[in-house]
Amino acid sequence: MILSQHSLRQLDETYIRSLPENACQELAVKLLADLKTLHERANRNPDNSSMPPSSQLPWAMDRSDDGVCDEVVEAKESDDCELEDEPAKTNTEQRVSGGEIDGPKGNCVPIKRAPGKQPGAPGYGRSQQLPITDTVEHRVFCCDGCAGQFTEQDTQVAWTGYYTIDVEVGVPGIGVTNTKHVYYEASCPCGHVTRQHPHREASDALWEGIGLSEWRLVGPMLCTLIVSLSYRMRMSRSKIQEFLYDWLGIRLSTGTIQRCVEESARACAPVEDQLVEQVVNSGLVHADETTHKEKKTLLWVWVFATRFSVLYFIGQRSAEIIETLLGQSYCGWLMSDGYQVYRRYANRLRCWAHLLRKAKGLEESLDRKGQRFGKRTREILKTLINAVYQAREGPPPGDLKQIHAGLLKELRDLCETMKGGTHEKSRTLAGEFLNDWDAVFAVLSHPDLPLTNNEAERLLRHLVIVRRITYGTRSKNGTRALALLASVVETCRRREVSPWGYLARVIKARRCGQHIPELPVPASAS
């Protein structure tokens, strides 16, 4: 923009009419340039620029797209957070009025209140009694004092126990189990009394207040079902509560549902190490990032995807994240956008879909030179894309860079010319090509590599919808839980293996203090 707001504020009709003709023309040229720039900005959309599809207003979206519209509508209806505990909505009046009361003159005044149980709201204890489907006896086998063995004939006394509600998924469907766990104590002739205890993992500073223990009301598969409803189906805690009671007859508090999600995430933490190793050792990584909010802090969700693994991180948008994950020495191919931190890696690829959209944006701009630049750039890119497709199908024709050296030189000369021009968008696109020239056209020498970063963008799409519905997470634990569960679930989905059986096995192993099972083998490799 040429004229600042400070200058614009001083301009009015009297001032313009007082100017001599020459000065008036000069001013008109500046105003025209600014007007064109503003029109171009107003005409930007996800089809002709780098704007993400989610930036479109809900009513501007194509309803036939893929149901995203419906999600956004739901986002307006639901103010529940997916990965954080929500206030226990026990007050029917507050639920009906959406947390607002009538202020003076009928205006709605939002109530500011802390999450959780409100003063005066009735508390609830567990009252539901389900029929017992199985009993598991945890007997003492060996004396903790003298190490003597107990036999089945030795008398043991039950000293504690608990119930675990779980679901069994199979043919012909889903069934509910309620298992009674009984723990025994035994007196040894040596005088020592030994008790059998349920396993409890040591507390972890990174997961403050989130325990991992066998002593749980909710079994591993039911935990997994809750994660599925929360993360994949994007249901709020209260809707999950409603679903479990209406369809399975299981009554759980929203607090218990929340703890199940957090415990599942903590159980998955060791899987992250396996995923990091697989990403670092892969020959091709797709990387992308989008915004995320934790309370009022703006953070970034990063995704790193290989052929069979997906890893999400939520943190700052800084070089640190990349350095921590890939290190300085990563030598595989890295497909990314034009963000500077990626430029330190030698084997880089750029997404051509982004460049094509930007060129289309130029073609639709108001600047004649810009229009010609955009049109020619698109033509050249499309010719090269066809050449890449042909090279993938047929016998190798040789290095496409040399075959199309003439086109590449033409584009480079165009970019050099436009780089010094007056049109802002043309300058930006020309600069983008010139800065990343090798990364953009590396695919011509290696036509088997991808042309777009759609893999990573598709993997961020689900989280963008989650963000819109939940308005982000509300705590560090909630943010970590989101990234970890997303990594495990999307990795399994990428391997065409159901994530839920694996997640249940991980939760079960971690509750008992055992090693987690290896990630499932990709369906196509087995």
**Which C-beta is closer to Zn ion: that of 148 or that of 517?**
148
Site string for Zn ion, 59-98 (x = CB under 5 A): ----------------------------------------
Return the amino acid letter for 7.
S
Which segments of 429-519 are extended strands (E)?
none
CB 179 to Zn ion: min, Å: 30
Please give the span between the terminal C-alpha atoms of the chain, in angstroms, as a whole number: 58
CB 154 to Zn ion: min, Å: 11
- For helices 405-419 and 368-393, the axis angle rounded to 10 degrees is 150
# residues near Zn ion by CB under 5 A: 7
The span from the CA of 48 to the CA of 370, in Å, is: 14
CB 198 to Zn ion: min, Å: 22
**Which C-beta is closer to Zn ion: that of 37 or that of 194?**
194
Map the footprint of Zn ion across residues 400-459, applying CB under 5 A: none
The span from the CA of 223 to the CA of 251, in Å, is: 14
**Which C-beta is closer to Zn ion: that of 148 or that of 175?**
148
Cα Rg of the chain, angstroms:
30
**Which C-beta is closer to Zn ion: that of 188 or that of 464?**
188
**Which C-beta is closer to Zn ion: that of 143 or that of 349?**
143
The span from the CA of 510 to the CA of 516, in Å, is: 7
**Which C-beta is closer to Zn ion: that of 148 or that of 397?**
148
Map the footprint of Zn ion across residues 255-294, applying CB under 5 A: none
Burial (Cβ within 10 Å: 0-12, 13-18, ≥19) of residue 136: exposed
CB 194 to Zn ion: min, Å: 7
Q: Using alpha carbons, select from 474, 509, 518, 478 the residue that is nearest to residue 199.
A: 509
Number of residues that this document lists for the chain: 526
Is 186 a binding residue for Zn ion by CB under 5 A? The answer is no
CB 150 to Zn ion: min, Å: 9
The residues that bridge with 179 in the sheet, in sequence order, are 134, 164
Contact between 462 and 456 under an 8 Å Cβ cutoff? The reply is: no
**Which C-beta is closer to Zn ion: that of 190 or that of 331?**
190
CB 160 to Zn ion: min, Å: 21
**Which C-beta is closer to Zn ion: that of 102 or that of 144?**
144
CB 146 to Zn ion: min, Å: 3
CB 193 to Zn ion: min, Å: 9
CB 200 to Zn ion: min, Å: 24
Taking residue 459's Cβ as centre, other Cβ atoms within 10 Å add up to 22
Contact between 436 and 350 under an 8 Å Cβ cutoff? The reply is: yes
Contact between 77 and 95 under an 8 Å Cβ cutoff? The reply is: no
CB 187 to Zn ion: min, Å: 9
DSSP state of 112: P
CB 247 to Zn ion: min, Å: 50
**Which C-beta is closer to Zn ion: that of 192 or that of 354?**
192
DSSP per residue, 6-20: HHHHH--HHHHHHS-
Q: Which stretch binds Zn ion (CB under 5 A): 184-192, 291-299, 433-441, 449-457?
A: 184-192
**Which C-beta is closer to Zn ion: that of 188 or that of 506?**
188
3-state helix, strand, coil in the chain (%, to 5): 50, 15, 35
Q: Could you tell me whether strands 134-138 and 100-102 are parallel, antiparallel, or unpaired per DSSP bridges? A: unpaired
Q: Using alpha carbons, select from 244, 304, 316 the residue that is nearest to residue 276.
A: 304
CB 142 to Zn ion: min, Å: 9
The span from the CA of 226 to the CA of 261, in Å, is: 7
CB 190 to Zn ion: min, Å: 3
Map the footprint of Zn ion across residues 188-227, applying CB under 5 A: 188, 190, 192
**Which C-beta is closer to Zn ion: that of 34 or that of 185?**
185
Q: Which stretch binds Zn ion (CB under 5 A): 182-190, 405-413, 441-449, 516-524?
A: 182-190
Which pair of tokens denotes residue 252?
Answer: 């759980």
The span from the CA of 308 to the CA of 286, in Å, is: 12
Map the footprint of Zn ion across residues 157-176, applying CB under 5 A: none
Map the footprint of Zn ion across residues 116-155, applying CB under 5 A: 143, 145-146, 148
Q: Which stretch binds Zn ion (CB under 5 A): 132-140, 180-188, 441-449, 492-500?
A: 180-188
Classify residue 516 as left (phi > 0), alpha (psi -120 to 50) or beta: beta
Classify residue 430 as left (phi > 0), alpha (psi -120 to 50) or beta: alpha
**Which C-beta is closer to Zn ion: that of 159 or that of 300?**
159
Map the footprint of Zn ion across residues 31-50, applying CB under 5 A: none
**Which C-beta is closer to Zn ion: that of 192 or that of 446?**
192
Which pair of tokens denotes residue 321?
Answer: 């994240």
Interface ranges with Zn ion (CB under 5 A):
143, 145-146, 148, 188, 190, 192
